[in-house]
Amino acid sequence: MSHLPSTEKKRLGVFKFASCDGCQLSLLSCEDELLALAEKVEIAHFLEASSATLPGPFDLALVEGSISTSEDIERIREIRHQSRSLVTIGACATSGGIQSLRNWADHDEYLRYVYPHPDYIDSLATSTAISDHVTVEFELRGCPVDKYQLLEVVMAFIHGRRPRIPSHSVCLECKRRGTICIAVTEGKPCLGPITQAGCGAICPAYHRACYGCFGPCAQANPPSLSEHYLADGTTPLQMIHQLRNVNAASRLFQIESNRIEAKPAAARAHE
Amino acid sequence: MSRERKIIVNALTRVEGEGALHIRLDGDEIDDVRLSIYEPPRFFEALLRGRSIEEVPDITARICGICPVAYQMSSVHALESALNITVTPEIRALRRLLYCGEWIESHALHVFLLSAPDFFGCASGIELTKQFPQQINDGLRVRKVGNALLEILGGRAIHPVNVRVGGFHRMPSREELTPLLSELEWALAAAIELADWVAGFSFPTFDATCELIAMHHPDEYSMNQGQIASTQFPTFDVDKYEQHFSEDQVAHSTALQSTRRGQTSSYLLGPLARVALNRDQLSPQAFALAKKICPVSVTQNRFASILARMIEVVSCLEESIATIQSYETANQAFVPYVVQSGFGCAATEAPRGLLYHHYEISDDGRVAGAKIVPPTSQNQRQIEFDLRGYLPQLIRESDQTIANECEKLIRTYDPCISCSSHFLTVHVVRN
Ligand code: SF4
Ligand code: SF4
């Protein structure tokens, strides 16, 4: 009966830009929920999972990966045009990913270091977030995203409500998990206080400092945290590298790493 | 009338990363076969420079979401070789256990969600579930055990956080690991049954003899240590890798391709090569299974790689059970070391085959230079070569059928295109 079209099922598209596929894989790793999800939505485009590719429009586009070639810019605009809602998944898509480290480097030198014929390569000198190029309805953090948060986001958009994703810091998750604070007891330069929750505070539970893979949290105050660590024996370079990792180009981490870099050591010592 | 046919698969599906296939036929002649990789470059080797060696496993993990452990392992082994670090037997055993988790997870993903649908004309694993609900659900449950191992040992399945130079940040307790035993035992029995199901698929006949290369270790089924063995040449040590292999740019290709120096032929890495070269070292039940479903003669049929994957899943499950049963929590999570300058290389067996890394370390403990040769960039030449070998039997079929069959063949290598540290996107086509 044609008046009951297949549009009853929301149409999902999953798209990839520069990335490791880890965030898409998180969707495939929802072993128990994947088949149930496939009942609820029509997976219209998901190259990693299916050879059946259907044209847009899409009710929901999940976008993984950062914009790092000139073709990417065209392609993300087209995807935006075809999608009612566009949600970015992961650090690459929300902040440019680890590949955004090139934003601080000499791109030509990078090209020459890796490729014998750099002139053949299509690559921009920067790796940027999807929201730098098109409007985005929601950004899901993490490198990789947490699969339960991913399911929550997909379900929320299918049902037309806002996703319930906490924006507090990793510290709260440590407390909830009962992990002893390693920044306090071991003096490790943990980014937990300025990193958004979502991972379950994994790193401190494994006796190591958080390296910020979920990006900055809502109330983050990076300068006060890094000044605390710098006063305590962490070198400026260590602190800069701690901030310049998989979320290097997220706004708050970027401003803070640049601030530390710009500031002469002597000036810091006098504060 | 032109006899020229162009067959283009614009986007390869059910593979990791993004690539395309171009075939040009002139009548019954194959003019050109090109696997092109349009995965954008991410410059890992360049961006690693200047980073402290402690940060390397977190960064290299991000090369690939499907086999992050392989990247972490090859890098920490290479750095340890540069610093002359020897890890304790307990750390070594746990690293193998972590690697088992990744092989189980990655192989099961490939078998049940990416590759099996091809044998039934299905577009996806989800679609295949309608025909074989029991098998696909069991397959996904086996995969989940692999992920559970990764979660306990590594903190999470994708980009684990617990791997470090010298060992681990924290050793898991016996109490964390033993609850996995019952699920592992279930998975072992299930995987053997599922392997029988897979062995009953109808396999295209395509035997293409080529050099098979895998690591070989005298005492164990090689995963993260050993020498480099081949079906055609003598075995040699990993630190001679660059004397034996080179990465060249070939005019017709879009990527750097690895070749054995002085040879024009390509070579194959991955589960088929490992099962062919190390079959006697499989776990007892996996060895019995290999005898039954994957005799030596079959290891030159690319489509049999799905069988080799199931055999390795069984082997990893059996090894994981044995490792956990005898596990005592060791106090020492990592071996301390003194930072100094040096050069070190290592290779490990990623799920898709041999993965080589080398690093130069400066005296302040930073990366001065890095080289990473992923398995797919090594297999790529073999993939193109095999497509040329497979095409003659398809040439009278429709373009669509040819495209589908070639895509199926490509999928049997489980190519991992995001590992694109060495792939090029070529604008210029030279003749
Ligand atoms: S955010 Fe991390 S896990 Fe996700 S695609 Fe990027 S590198 Fe991979
Ligand atoms: S780096 Fe921070 S946010 Fe990422 S897993 Fe570790 S604790 Fe969680």
Give the CATH number of the domain where residue B135 resides: 1.10.645.10
Most A CBs within 10 Å, among B54, B126, B127, B141, to test the A interface: B126
Cα B279 to chain centroid, rounded: 17
- Residue B251 clears pLDDT 70, i.e. is over it: no
Q: Closest approach of chain A CAs to the CA of B241, in angstroms?
A: 19
In sequence order, the 6+-apart residues with CB closer than 8 A to the CB of A193 are: A169, A170, A171, A183, A220, A225
Q: What is the pLDDT of residue B253?
A: 43
In sequence order, the 6+-apart residues with CB closer than 8 A to the CB of B135 are: B112, B194, B197
Asked whether A212 lines ligand 1 (CB < 6 A), one says: no
Strand partners, B353: B350
In sequence order, the 6+-apart residues with CB closer than 8 A to the CB of A143 are: A22, A23, A90, A91, A92, A97, A98, A213, A214, A246, A247, B62, B159
Q: What is the pLDDT of residue B254?
A: 43
Quickly state the pLDDT bin for B419 (edges 50, 70, 90).
low
- Which tokens sit at B324? 């956990």
- Which tokens sit at B52? 């402290």
For helices B305-325 and B89-108, angle between their N-to-C axes, nearest 10 degrees: 140
Q: What is the pLDDT of residue A3?
A: 45
Nearest CB to A114: which of B46, B109, B168?
A: B46
* Within a domain: B6: no
Between the ranges A1-15, B199-213, B242-256, B350-364, where is the mean pLDDT highest?
B350-364
* Within a domain: B416: no
Strand partners, B348: B355
* Within a domain: B26: no
Residue B200: exposed, middle, or buried by beta-carbon count in 10 A (0-12, 13-18, 19+)?
exposed
Question: Residues A215-253: pLDDT tens digits?
Answer: 999 989 999 999 999 998 999 999 999 999 999 999 999
Q: What is the pLDDT of residue B249?
A: 61
Asked whether A38 lines ligand 1 (CB < 6 A), one says: no
Q: What is the pLDDT of residue A173?
A: 96
**What pTM was computed for the model?**
0.94
Question: Residues B320-336: pLDDT tens digits?
Answer: 999 999 998 888 999 99
Asked whether B62 lines ligand 1 (CB < 6 A), one says: yes
* Within a domain: B413: no
The values of phi and psi at residue B317, to 5°, are -65, -45
Centre of ligand 1 from the C-alpha of residue A241, in Å: 18
Question: Residues B16-75: pLDDT tens digits?
Answer: 877 888 888 888 888 888 887 777 889 999 999 999 999 999 999 999 999 999 999 999
Task: Tell me the pLDDT of chain A averaged across its residues.
Answer: 91
* Within a domain: B408: no
Question: Residues B192-222: pLDDT tens digits?
Answer: 999 999 999 999 888 788 999 999 999 999 9
Centre of ligand 2 from the C-alpha of residue A166, in Å: 15
* Within a domain: B213: yes
- Which tokens sit at B49? 């420079």
Asked whether A96 lines ligand 1 (CB < 6 A), one says: no
| Total domain count, chain B | 1
Q: What angle do CA B143, B122, A35 make, to 5 degrees?
A: 45
Higher pLDDT: A113 or B182? It is B182
Q: What is the pLDDT of residue A265?
A: 60
On whether ipTM exceeds 0.90, the answer is yes
Q: Which domain holds residue B330?
A: 44-378
* Within a domain: B134: yes
The strand ranges marked E within B97-233 are: 163-164, 167-168, 211-216, 227-230
% of chain B beyond a pLDDT of 90: 69
- Report which ligand 2 atom has the smallest distance to the Cα of A195: 3
* Within a domain: B296: yes
Radius of gyration over every alpha carbon of chain A, rounded to an integer in angstroms: 20
